[in-house]
Chains A and B, each alone.
Chain A
């Protein structure tokens, strides 16, 4: 009854043998790059949805039946040019269509001959900043739109700042509706200049400014030379085709444990997605927060037992000894460990109407680890001046710096070093809603000083010795002052040799 998918395998009969060849991959599969993830952002009505709609239209991602629906839905809303309302390809919710605005992110997929794209069209309205942050968190590149007639607004600055905080390093400044300025070159240059200054203050170096008409499709996929002979730079799609995807390759191996798999007595594996670095059988690892040491014996996946796994791989790890590992723990490289402690500094974006209240206890979720946290706002970014002003609490849509205090050990990298193990969300225990997205900037010592690398005394000891010492009351009372790392006997010998030598 079932049609085996091998129906398409080419069968060759060679000297009486039947050889089944795996199906040929279609030509376009040869592109080896991952899709580029991008967002559009900027203030209300600057033309974000229209731009993406146009991009989909001009790359032939809109099918005939969808085009017919678009023509039908555009009826009565036709602009002077008689073109359909391309934004309707994105604004798919009834409420969005009624109000003519974007409320929530739309994710769309399209490709050119050169690569494929995942685009998140985000809302410009300030009320829905949370949905813009949702789109920005996973993007490699941001297309920031500005209405050529209006210039940079506070909301433009907010979006540029959030995008930067979330680690986006490549920007396209689309100076849109250029058709409504009579293709005014001076205006384009003025806005580009103003944005470059903002970008510089945010530490963004990769900016391409393009004058576009999203509606007419000028400098989007097709060049706008006819109307703008003065512009000889790339079109939007050309920039997108050449942009780089963020590499998840960070140094230290990180595996946030999602689940312990114990199908029977004989098997115990730790399931999760590698969040940094790589791992192979034989590697020594530490389980955090317990600090236990073990060696990797196997990397199990459905297809085969693998000899290595890298960042992004969803794997099951088997260790060489019985150790206590549960969901929320992190298995990490022994020689490149993340920060652990009770107190951290972070930047965050407040996403809900209640803002972030000082001293309130939230849930913090990072990777698979969820724990209680107290959040103390320290300062808030003033979008007009770019200055950080002291703040006791953070209202909705504020970008702030905060101190995090935990009851139990927290495990992080800085966001700059690792976009997965350095990111977290805050959940309000009263509403269960996600109220902030945050990025770890540093670890704090108990004394209030800040240090990204630990100023505590670090003792590297063979595991049995470490266990004995940690069990003493003396050590328990002064845990903040010293950190004990368990190492294998071999590693300990190496360290002692180093000291002796």
Chain B
């Protein structure tokens, strides 16, 4: 693995943090175990880094798992060109701060054909700029294992997925024929060309993520905190109206609202929520009384029933 830096000693923060509560500690232990197991068993692992809160937790756990060494694999950001500007700025800062080895990939076909969420619709756009782009990047890197931050509590088909999720050479997932996965003994045996998606956060819930971010002081994109921001209402969603490429349609107007985001993706497809949560405590108590699920704000999950499973079968994360 020529591109991987030798492990070097990193600074130990020696923080005087209170110990984690046993539930979070158990989740952390499990995730670290998975990271180490995959890093040891596979030749070319890579970690999908999508800049969101789950990715932030995933990265933090990876740093913990390999301490005092460096994270022994690259990070992969599949960019669509339509991410929130604040996400990209955050990403760049994190890469620098933690001395990470990040690959960024944009689907060249999509870029050349100018595929946008506005012109192609969310389904086709996601298919080309995310799923196809991911397959391209995984093939180019010849990665045999890819870490992702998906959680089983996100969606019904994810709830069915193994921690080591087997993929065929063309990146397909066969949910009807998953390998049994007993105890914490993971089967990492694959043939050339096949791969495994590994999900260290499988058993975490959204609240666990936030409580862990709080307990561990993990940096996250500021868009998760409520603030007055310019928005425009479209298809029943509040879209952030900052990017000059967003053209207002007839009848639409820009206005300011105090909003935040529960998940982060491509700005034209991610709906904001009205919220006054400016601190982690606020976010956690907001969640504990929330009446809608986190994926509700995502246009791409609502395209059709069972749409997540379909996308996953085709190689989406």
A residues near B, CB below 8 A? 1-8, 22-26, 28-29, 31-35, 63-66, 69, 72-73, 89-95, 97, 103-109, 116, 118, 130-131, 133-134, 137-138, 258-259, 261-264, 266-267, 269, 271-273, 300-304, 312-314, 316, 327, 351, 363, 365-368, 419-420, 423-425, 427, 432-434, 437
Decide if B187 touches A434 in the complex (CB within 8 Å).
yes
Q: List 23 A-B contacts (CB under 8 A).
A: A2-B94, A3-B222, A5-B213, A5-B217, A7-B278, A8-B279, A65-B296, A69-B305, A90-B156, A92-B309, A93-B156, A94-B306, A95-B175, A107-B152, A109-B203, A138-B182, A263-B8, A264-B8, A272-B36, A304-B12, A367-B185, A425-B187, A432-B190
**Closest CB in chain B relative to A318 CB, distance in Å:** 10
Q: Mark B1-31, 1 if CB is under 8 A from A, else 0.
A: 0000011110011110110011100101100
From A35, A314, A351, A427, contact of B23 by CB (8 A):
A35
- Could you tell me the distance between the alpha carbons of A103 and B161 in the complex, rounded to whole angstroms? 12
* In the complex, chain A residues whose CB is within 8 Å of the CB of B67: 300-302, 316
B residues near A, CB below 8 A? 6-9, 12-15, 17-18, 21-23, 26, 28-29, 32-33, 36-37, 39-40, 63-70, 86, 89-90, 93-94, 152-153, 155-157, 159-160, 175-176, 178-185, 187, 189-191, 202-203, 205, 211, 213-222, 224-225, 278-282, 284-285, 288, 290-293, 296, 305-306, 309-310
* In the complex, chain B residues whose CB is within 8 Å of the CB of A29: 21, 23, 211
**Closest CB in chain A relative to B221 CB, distance in Å:** 7
- Could you tell me the distance between the alpha carbons of A316 and B282 in the complex, rounded to whole angstroms? 36
* In the complex, chain A residues whose CB is within 8 Å of the CB of B29: 273, 312-314
Contacts A2-B219, A63-B290, A303-B14 aside, 19 further interface pairs with beta carbons under 8 A come to A1-B89, A2-B222, A3-B219, A5-B213, A23-B215, A63-B293, A65-B293, A93-B309, A107-B202, A109-B203, A131-B178, A134-B181, A134-B182, A266-B9, A301-B64, A302-B67, A304-B15, A434-B181, A437-B180
Decide if B179 touches A434 in the complex (CB within 8 Å).
yes
Decide if B205 touches A109 in the complex (CB within 8 Å).
yes
- Could you tell me the distance between the alpha carbons of A31 and B21 in the complex, rounded to whole angstroms? 9
Decide if A131 touches B180 in the complex (CB within 8 Å).
yes
Decide if B183 touches A423 in the complex (CB within 8 Å).
yes
Decide: A107 near B203, CB < 8 A? Known: A64-B291, A95-B176, A264-B9: yes
**Closest CB in chain A relative to B298 CB, distance in Å:** 11
List the count of A-B residue pairs having beta carbons below 8 Å apart.
239
**Closest CB in chain B relative to A457 CB, distance in Å:** 33
Decide: A104 near B160, CB < 8 A? Known: A66-B293, A267-B9: yes
* In the complex, chain A residues whose CB is within 8 Å of the CB of B65: 271, 314
* In the complex, chain A residues whose CB is within 8 Å of the CB of B90: 1-2
Which residue from chain A places its CB closest to the CB of B153 in the assembled complex? Answer: A109
**Closest CB in chain A relative to B288 CB, distance in Å:** 7
* In the complex, chain A residues whose CB is within 8 Å of the CB of B309: 92-94
* In the complex, chain B residues whose CB is within 8 Å of the CB of A107: 152, 159, 202-203
* In the complex, chain B residues whose CB is within 8 Å of the CB of A2: 90, 93-94, 219-222
* In the complex, chain B residues whose CB is within 8 Å of the CB of A261: 7, 66, 68-69
- Could you tell me the distance between the alpha carbons of A300 and B69 in the complex, rounded to whole angstroms? 11
Decide: A420 near B214, CB < 8 A? Known: A64-B291, A261-B7: no
Which residue from chain B places its CB closest to the CB of A61 in the assembled complex? Answer: B153
